[in-house]
Amino acid sequence: MATLLEQYRSKLVTADKAVKSIKTGDTVHYGAFCGAVWDLDQALAARVDELEDVKTITTIWPYSEPPAIVKADPEAKRFKFNSTQFGAVERKMNRQGSCWYIPVQFREQLKYFTQDVDLDVAMLRVAPMDKHGYFNLGPQVADAPAIVNNAKTVIVEVNEKMPVVHGMQNAIHISQIDFIVQGSNLELPVSIGKEATEVDRKIAAHIVERVRNGSTLQLGIGGLPNTVGSYICKSDIKDLSVHSEMFVDAFLNLYNAGKITGNKNLDRGKMVWTFAMGSKELYDFVDNNSLHHACPVNYVNEISTIAQIDNFVSVCSCLELDLFGQVNSETAGLLHIGGNGGQLDFVLGSYLSKGGQSFLCTPSTFKTKDGTVTSTIKPTLSQGSIITVPRQVTHLVVTEFGVANLKGKSTWQRSEALINIAHPDFQDELVKEAEKMGIWKNSSRVTA
C-alpha cells in the first residue's frame, strides 16, 4: 500500500490540470463560506471558451469581488453561478443577471446533495494534510460531508492559512480525494458587521433586558446581532453558552468578557456552530481550539437539537412583516436580498426550548433610494415578498419602540401589538388599514 506521502504526490496537480476534469454540462460545487475556492476558480475561468452549460453552486461567496468565471463570462452564456444563500456580491451579480438563487432550507442541504442534486465535481478549500491523511475543512462544515461523499470527482485547494477546527465530520481523508492543488495561501476573507446605529442600540437594549443568566445564544448575520453581543458584554448577564448557525465576533467578545462558560445541558463546554466568518482574530480564536465544535448544519440547525437546550435565545434580523405576523427576511419586493438560512429553524426550536425565546428584529422604518421613508410593519407584505417565517410560529418581534409577543394572540391582538411597536408616524395609517382588512374592529377590542 502506498504511503500517505506517495498518495499525496500522486494526486498533487496544478489548478489548471485539476479543472480539466470538468466537462460541458457538469454541476460543480465551489465550496462554501471561507472554504470557497480561489485558484481553481481562476483556472476554470481560463477555460471559458472550451466549456458550455457548467453550473456552479456555493453558499455565500465570501470574497469582495465576483468569481473569475463570472468576470470571464458576464452574460452567463457558459457558466451559471448559483448560491443557496446570498451575500453582497451575489446580490449585485443577481441584479446583473449572472447569479441565481437556490431556495433551500439550510439544514436540509446534506440531503439535497445526497438525493436531489447530481454533483459531478466538488472543489473545496482546506487546511494542509495532517499526519493521519486528513484535510481539515476549516471554519465551515455546513453541508460539506454530503458534497464530498456524493460528488463523482473531489478536488481540494490547500491553503496553509486555513484554521484547523475541531468538531464533527470536519475533515476529508486523502482516500476520498482525486486531485490536490496547492493554493496561493490567501488570507481568509474578513467579514465585519456594520457599525451600530442608534436604532440598533435601542433594539439591542430591548432584547438584552430579556436575556437570563444561563441562556444559550444564537446570533444571526449583521450589525444588530453584534450589537446585542456588545450590550451583553456590558451587562450583568453571565453563564452563557453558544449554539449558533454562524460563529461571529460577538461570541469572541463575549468569551473575552468572561460571559461564556458553556454550562448548557447539551454539548456542555462546547461552542457549537456550522460555519464561522468574521475578523482575523476570530479565525485565530477557532484555530485548533478544543472549545469549538463545528458540526454539519443538519445537526446544528435541527429543530429537535435546538429544542433540547434550555433557555435558548435566538436573535435574527428581518426586512419586513405584516399585521398577520408573517415575516419576510429575503426580498425587498421583487428584489432578492438574501437567503433564509436557519431563521425558521431557530424560531421553531427556540420556542420548543424550555424557557426559550426567538427575537425577530427590524428597524420600524426603511428609507428607499428616492428618500421615501416607509414602515417595515405593513398591513400586508409587499408584492413579491417571500414569507420566511409564517404567522403561526412568529414569537417575539422587536423594533426600537419595543417587543411584541405574538404567541397565543388573536389576529386583532397581533395587529394591535405590532402597531404598538411601529413608528408613531405610521400607526394611525396601520389602524385604518387593519380596519379595512377586518382584523381591527370595536367588537374585537371588546371581546379580546
Q: Are residues 296 and 322 in the same domain?
A: yes
CATH number of the domain at 247, please: 3.40.1080.20
Q: Which of 90, 245, 400, 416 is catalytic?
A: 245
Measured CA to CA, the distance from residue 163 to residue 420 in angstroms comes to 47
pLDDT at position 445 over 80: no
Q: Are residues 126 and 97 in the same domain?
A: yes
178 located within any domain:
yes
Range of the domain at 13: 4-182
Q: 220 pLDDT band (50/70/90 cuts)?
A: confident
Task: Tell me what pLDDT residue 159 has.
Answer: 98
pLDDT in tens, 146-175: 999 999 999 999 999 999 999 999 999 999
CATH number of the domain at 75, please: 3.40.1080.10
The predicted model scores a pTM of 0.96
93 located within any domain:
yes
Q: Are residues 319 and 386 in the same domain?
A: yes
Q: What angle do CA 107, 108, 112 make, to 5 degrees?
A: 145
* pLDDT, mean of residues 107-122: 98
Task: Tell me what pLDDT residue 440 has.
Answer: 79
Measured CA to CA, the distance from residue 248 to residue 279 in angstroms comes to 8
pLDDT in tens, 3-28: 999 999 999 999 999 999 999 999 99
> Is 75 an annotated catalytic residue?
no
pLDDT in tens, 390-428: 999 999 999 999 999 999 999 999 999 999 999 999 999
pLDDT in tens, 26-57: 999 999 999 999 999 999 999 999 999 999 99
Total structural domains in the chain?
2
210 located within any domain:
yes
Q: Are residues 300 and 222 in the same domain?
A: yes
Q: Are residues 125 and 217 in the same domain?
A: no
Q: Are residues 206 and 178 in the same domain?
A: no
211 located within any domain:
yes
Q: 442 pLDDT band (50/70/90 cuts)?
A: low
151 neighbors 61 (Cβ within 8 angstroms): no
Query: Picking from 55-64, 164-173, 272-281, 331-340, which range would have the lowest pLDDT averaged per residue?
Result: 331-340
A 10 A CB-CB count for 232 gives: 26
Query: Picking from 223-227, 288-292, 444-448, which range would have the lowest pLDDT averaged per residue?
Result: 444-448
Percentage of the chain surpassing pLDDT 70?
98
Q: Are residues 117 and 84 in the same domain?
A: yes
Of 128, 169, 139, 147, nearest in space to 12 by CA = 128
* pLDDT, mean of residues 82-108: 96
Q: Are residues 167 and 311 in the same domain?
A: no
Mean pLDDT of the chain: 95
Q: Are residues 278 and 372 in the same domain?
A: yes
Q: 448 pLDDT band (50/70/90 cuts)?
A: very low
Task: Tell me what pLDDT residue 194 has.
Answer: 78
Q: Are residues 161 and 211 in the same domain?
A: no
Q: 193 pLDDT band (50/70/90 cuts)?
A: confident
